[in-house]
Amino acid sequence: MRRGIAATALTATLALAVTACGGDSDSGSKGTSGPVTITWWDTSNATNEAPNYKALISEFEKANKDIKVTYVNVPFDQAQNKFQTAAGSKGAPDVIRADVGWTANWAKSQFLAPLDGTDALKNSEDITPALLKQAQYEGKTYGAPIVTDSLALMWNKELLKKAGFDKAPTTWDELKKVSKAVAAKTDADGFWMNKAGYYQMPFLYGEGTDLIDSEGKKITVNSPEAVKAIETSKSLLKAPGVAKLDVSADSYAHMQDAFTTGKVAMIVQGPWELTNIYKGAAFKDAANLGLATVPGGSAGKGAPIGGHNLSVYAGSDAAHQKAAQKFVGFMTSGETQAKIALKNSTLPTRTSAYTAEVKALPGFADMQTVLAEGGKARGSDPSYSSLYTDFETNVTKVLQGKVGVQKGLDDAAAAYKKLLKDYS
């Protein structure tokens, strides 16, 4: 949900045209002696991350002479629709790097093959349990987690020290106090609020609720707990030292710029921005960046876990699925994930991948703690990832003062009811 990837028109064309689902042109699809060729659609950053994945493919092919991998980089913001179109016409790639929010829906549509008991999920006890949960649908696992992320409270230690604090706030009330002091004693704002639905989730989790109750089939976005959560969010904007709500199209970039240049002391952000943050003027000394669990509410703390899975196309023949499973197992192993972390600065999904070298990367040890303390799996309903849009639209109106909290959340619930007809 977080990184669009630039690509040329040629790459986009290849993303649709190059497939390996057992057609006549694929060696090994009819019992020939040549290697089986599988296709992988990768949705990572084409400039910074893709070259490192290509190097790993070469490593895999050297160790597995009977398998060849055709690599295609597909822009993240186009991949979901492209794969659904290709899978519906039986022409999808053998392996797809999918956002965790896509997996259950594609499993429900029977686009993906279950991976339980295959080479794709060897030593699954090493994988963070919440990440496995997000890759499951109706008791079966349809994705092997390859990278993960969540949200953390990121803070400028120097600015907080000037304001008289040497630790990050642990509650929203504490954050208000810190923000007021920062604004009074420095030239910076204390906190910048991101209105996006994904970034508003910690407020809900802090009151012990969610957008929906997937197990109980209930819409909870307008529950009393949710109302309290968004009232807390709204109250922050009225607190001294908190930046004015930015509803412009470039609000995300504005937030990042303010934080990296030292104009704001605290933001809620994910590890995908760590590389860019450390390049900022305020964090040339990496030790100046603090990372902590997002502040909590009356029921505790929590932030949504994101990331990506590698999934196998159900429409491929047996030979291609077996080869794809082996490739997925290699790419998501602890050893490979450690290499990916060191090259791409992405968080691993296996405990064994957090080697001493990986933990030494700026921010990584702290993010591992944040994930363990506050990471929360999203709801298991296949439609869950589509719920953020209506949530954000209506919460933005609330934060702008256009509607009351209950009315805004009731409107979100009404939109959910049209999508989730079997929910009460």
Residues 414 and 271 in one domain: yes
> Residue 27 above 70 pLDDT?
no
Cβ atoms of 95 and 327 within 8 Å: the answer is yes
Mean per-residue pLDDT, 1-30: 40
Percent of the chain with pLDDT over 90: 82
Give per-residue pLDDT as tens, 56-88. 999 999 999 999 999 999 999 899 999 999 998
> Residue 91 above 90 pLDDT?
no
Residues 47 and 128 in one domain: yes
> What CATH code is carried by the domain that includes residue 73?
3.40.190.10
4 located within any domain: no
242 located within any domain: yes
- Separation of alpha carbons 241 and 291, rounded Å: 20
Residue 245 DSSP code: P
Residues 225 and 165 in one domain: yes
pLDDT at 88: 85
- Separation of alpha carbons 195 and 242, rounded Å: 13
At 33, is the pLDDT very low, low, confident or very high (cuts 50, 70, 90)? low
178 located within any domain: yes
2 located within any domain: no
Question: What values do phi and psi take at 242, rounded to 5?
Answer: -95, 130
Residues 293 and 412 in one domain: yes
Predicted model pTM: 0.85
Percent of the chain with pLDDT over 70: 92
At 25, is the pLDDT very low, low, confident or very high (cuts 50, 70, 90)? very low
- The candidate with the shortest Cα–Cα distance to 82, out of 31, 41, 141, is 41
- Separation of alpha carbons 24 and 300, rounded Å: 56
Domain region containing 53: 9-149+306-376
Residues 284 and 217 in one domain: yes
261 located within any domain: yes
3 located within any domain: no
- Separation of alpha carbons 213 and 383, rounded Å: 12
Residues 87 and 195 in one domain: no
Residues 110 and 203 in one domain: no
Cβ atoms of 408 and 395 within 8 Å: the answer is yes
- Separation of alpha carbons 289 and 282, rounded Å: 9
Residue 6: CB atoms within 10 A of its CB come to 10
> What domain count does the chain have?
2
Residues 290 and 341 in one domain: no
Task: List the beta bridge partners of residue 86.
Answer: none
Q: Are strands 289-292 and 303-304 parallel, antiparallel or unpaired?
A: unpaired
> Residue 179 above 50 pLDDT?
yes
- The candidate with the shortest Cα–Cα distance to 68, out of 388, 249, 327, 261, is 327
Question: What values do phi and psi take at 154, rounded to 5?
Answer: -105, 135
Residues 70 and 86 in one domain: yes
Alpha helices in 240-333 (DSSP H): 251-260, 274-279, 318-331
Lowest mean pLDDT segment, chosen from 1-15, 56-70, 299-313: 1-15
- The helix/strand/coil state of 277 is helix
